[in-house]
Amino acid sequence: MLNEAAIFRGAFWFSIGAFFERAMFFILPIFIAPLGAASLGIFYLSLRVFNGIVAFPTNALNIRYTGKLRKYIQDPKSLKFEETAAFLLKAYSLAGLLLGTLFLILILIFAPFKSFAFLALAIPFAVANSYMMRLLQLLQRFKKIFIIQVIFIFLFQILYLMIVIKILHMGIAAAFAGQLLINILISFAAGISLFDRLNLLNLFQKINAKMFVLSPLSFANLLFKTFSPILDLLIVWVLFGFSTLGHYIVLLYLPLFIHRIPTTLFGMFHHVAIVKTRKNEDITQISKMVFKWILLITVPLFIVVMFYPEFFLSILFHKTYVKDLIIARLLAISYFLQSISWMAERILIAKNKKVLRVASNYIFASVFVLLSFIFAFFAFGLFGIALAYLISSVFDAFAKYILVVWKAKIIFIGIDHLKIFSFGVLGGFVGYMLFFNNLLLFFPFFFVLYFAILWMLKIVRAKNLYDLRSYISSDPSDEGESRN
């Protein structure tokens, strides 16, 4: 049976696997960028739209049925899990097939690049894959999840791109075809891993259209989750075209990295907070602890991106991409603030403040879109987009934090968090003033000074690691009295 320790440990290992999966969004631009800024813009935006299309039906069905599956798996004598899991596999596959067919027809008729068809063909597999990975998570088969994510999503994709792009110089059409191939392989591997827990007879049950119906609030939240990751990309494309979008993606590269990596690693907080809230436990302490670890990772990355973006971008991309670095710095500040928004939103989710969460998200998106078009009207270009995102991020972080303090009664930013930020910035300035033209001396000086100060102030201690570990690796036998 699932208990608190198993859920915490499972969420942790799922986050580690998700780290490798999301890492591909940082590796793909490196391979595609040599094909040109326009090709990079076309490929990256297409892939993000593809993921949004896949996420829409999977998230819609997850909202309604994941809780039931989690409930059914608690009873080992019942076959409801096997029956429901097989039936829902049919529902997910059917939704993916309908979406894939629709977009395939649209692409063949209207799209200027027919190679987009490979992504349309991959949609049914990707939707089914998302569901099967969720089943593996519920079944606590994290080794299999990890293997699939590392081997097929990470290693195989790198090898494929290296062959077709670097060696054979086949272009983005071959890269699109690779997405179809990878999703087919994932479907095969996940299907084999789940075969023993699916009642195949239930694949023949009739699908009821009502099972796809969502409440207006859930639909609004789902719509935001689908379009928010690509909102800035769409605005840049609409206003400036694919070539400028390619340059923007490169400038976005490092800022997105400093936000996505820590929040992905600590994505387990979402699951832990929901479980504790359901048991009427206070989540203030764990909120502070997780945010502290996010800051410990984010602050050094933020300092490095602010001071030395040219160094890293020139290593990863062609020198023609390394310009307008003020935009990268503005985006870095924005995504640093988005870490606060991320933490606040997860607390609102755990506390079931759905209306406030959805409303704040739409206000943030509206402010960003409005400011983007206003600044574009004044011919600010990409700088205007970055400035609009910064202003809306400041507003979003402040608004969400106020909502958490006011409605959830949780203050997750304390003195220690301010010290981490202050001494990180101070250490960065000191290191930059002393070794601004010598990175080999700056990096060791900054990191040693940063962690030494935090250690002396007792902000970082070995006990902190043990406290964090206790949430993810407790022996399930010690939680015999736990309830999900």
Residues 144-161 have pLDDT tens digits of 888 888 888 888 888 998
Least confident of 19-23, 34-38, 225-229: 19-23
Q: Is residue 423 part of a domain?
A: no
| 147 and 267 assigned to the same domain | no
pLDDT at 360: 93
Query: In the Cβ-directed half-sphere of 61, how many Cα atoms lie within 13 Å?
Result: 28
| 26 and 68 assigned to the same domain | yes
How many CB atoms neighbour CB 439 within 10 A? 14
* DSSP-assigned letter for residue 202: G
Q: What is the mean pLDDT of residues 241-252?
A: 94
The domain boundary, picked from 213, 240, 255, lies at: 213
Which domain covers residue 234, as residue numbers?
215-413
Q: What is the mean pLDDT of residues 92-119?
A: 92
Q: Quick check: 32 and 43 in contact, CB under 8 A?
A: yes
Q: Is residue 325 part of a domain?
A: yes
Q: Is the pLDDT of residue 80 over 90?
A: no
Q: Is residue 484 part of a domain?
A: no
Quickly state the pLDDT bin for 481 (edges 50, 70, 90).
very low
The domain boundary, picked from 361, 380, 413, lies at: 413
| 359 and 299 assigned to the same domain | yes
Quickly state the pLDDT bin for 458 (edges 50, 70, 90).
confident
Q: What is the pLDDT of residues 230-242, one digit of tens each?
A: 999 999 999 999 9
Q: Is residue 468 part of a domain?
A: no
C-alpha dihedral over 238, 239, 245, 251, to 10 degrees? -130
pLDDT at 266: 76
| 90 and 138 assigned to the same domain | yes
Retrieve residue 367's tokens: 């402010």
Q: Is residue 478 part of a domain?
A: no
pLDDT at 195: 84
| 188 and 222 assigned to the same domain | no
Kindly provide the b/e burial profile for residues 329-349, where b requires at least 16 CB atoms within 10 angstroms of the residue's own CB. bbbbbbbbbbbbbbbbbbbbb
C-alpha dihedral over 455, 463, 472, 189, to 10 degrees? 50
Burial status of residue 419 (CB atoms within 10 A of its CB: 0-12, 13-18, 19 or more): middle
Rounded to whole angstroms, what are the CA distances from 27 to 33, 199, 429, 442? 10, 38, 30, 26
Q: Is the pLDDT of residue 467 over 70?
A: no
Q: Is the pLDDT of residue 27 over 70?
A: yes
Q: What is the pLDDT of residues 81-97, one digit of tens each?
A: 888 888 888 889 999 99
| 36 and 138 assigned to the same domain | yes
Q: Quick check: 165 and 175 in contact, CB under 8 A?
A: yes
Least confident of 130-134, 207-211, 426-430: 207-211
Q: Is the pLDDT of residue 332 over 50?
A: yes
| 48 and 87 assigned to the same domain | yes
Q: What is the percent of the chain with per-residue pLDDT over 70, rounded to a whole number? A: 90
Q: What is the mean pLDDT of residues 265-270?
A: 74
Single out the residue of 480, 465, 474 nearest to residue 6, CA to CA. Answer: 474
Quickly state the pLDDT bin for 484 (edges 50, 70, 90).
very low
| 254 and 179 assigned to the same domain | no
| 269 and 355 assigned to the same domain | yes
* DSSP reduced 3-state for 447: helix
pLDDT at 242: 94
pLDDT at 483: 30
Quickly state the pLDDT bin for 208 (edges 50, 70, 90).
confident
Q: What is the mean pLDDT of residues 200-216?
A: 75
| 153 and 249 assigned to the same domain | no
Q: Is residue 443 part of a domain?
A: no
pLDDT at 478: 34
Amino acid at residue number 432 = Y
Q: What is the pLDDT of residues 345-374, one digit of tens each?
A: 999 988 988 899 999 999 999 999 999 999
Q: Is the pLDDT of residue 476 over 60?
A: no
Quickly state the pLDDT bin for 2 (edges 50, 70, 90).
very low
Which carries the bigger pLDDT value, residue 154 or residue 190?
Answer: 190
Amino acid at residue number 210 = K
Q: Quick check: 199 and 82 in contact, CB under 8 A?
A: yes
Q: Quick check: 386 and 334 in contact, CB under 8 A?
A: yes
Q: How many domains does the chain have?
A: 2
pLDDT at 44: 92
Q: Is residue 75 part of a domain?
A: yes
Quickly state the pLDDT bin for 123 (edges 50, 70, 90).
very high
Least confident of 228-232, 276-280, 301-305: 276-280
Retrieve residue 83's tokens: 């029956």
Least confident of 11-15, 312-316, 354-358: 11-15
Q: What is the percent of the chain with per-residue pLDDT over 90, rounded to a whole number? A: 39
| 52 and 93 assigned to the same domain | yes
Q: Is the pLDDT of residue 463 over 90?
A: no
How many CB atoms neighbour CB 67 within 10 A? 10
The domain boundary, picked from 387, 413, 439, lies at: 413
Which carries the bigger pLDDT value, residue 117 or residue 281?
Answer: 117
Query: The pTM is what?
Result: 0.85
Q: Is the pLDDT of residue 277 over 60?
A: yes
| 200 and 226 assigned to the same domain | no
Q: Is residue 264 part of a domain?
A: yes
Amino acid at residue number 471 = Y
Which carries the bigger pLDDT value, residue 3 or residue 287?
Answer: 287
Single out the residue of 337, 363, 345, 190 nearest to residue 267, CA to CA. Answer: 345
pLDDT at 477: 31
Q: Is the pLDDT of residue 199 over 50?
A: yes
